[in-house]
Amino acid sequence: MHRQLTERRLILASHNSGKLVEMRELMHPYGVEIVSASELGLPEPDETGLTFKENAEIKALASATSAGLPALSDDSGLCVDALGGDPGIYSARWAGDTKDFGAAMRKIEDLLQQAGAKTPQQRKAHFVSALTLAWPDGHCETFEGMVYGSIVSPPRGNLGFGYDACFLPDEHSRSFGEMTSHEKHGLPRDGGQGLSHRARAFQMLEKACLTGLK
CA distance 93 to 12: 20
Residues in Cβ contact with 132 at an 8 Å cutoff, skipping those fewer than 6 apart: 53, 56, 57, 59, 60, 61, 72, 73, 74, 75, 140, 141, 142
Catalytic residue among 74, 75, 86, 164: 75
> What's the distance, CA 69 to chain centroid?
21
Answer for the pair 58, 49: CB distance below 8 angstroms, yes or no. yes
Answer for the pair 75, 59: CB distance below 8 angstroms, yes or no. yes
| Sheet with 71-80, side-by-side order of all strands | 33-36, 9-12, 71-80, 124-134, 140-151, 167-169
CA distance 23 to 151: 25
CA distance 174 to 170: 10
The answer to whether 74 is a known catalytic residue is no
Tell me the one-letter amino acid at 41.
G
| Cα three-residue angle 186-189-195, rounded to 5 degrees | 35
Which residues are part of the catalytic machinery?
Answer: 75
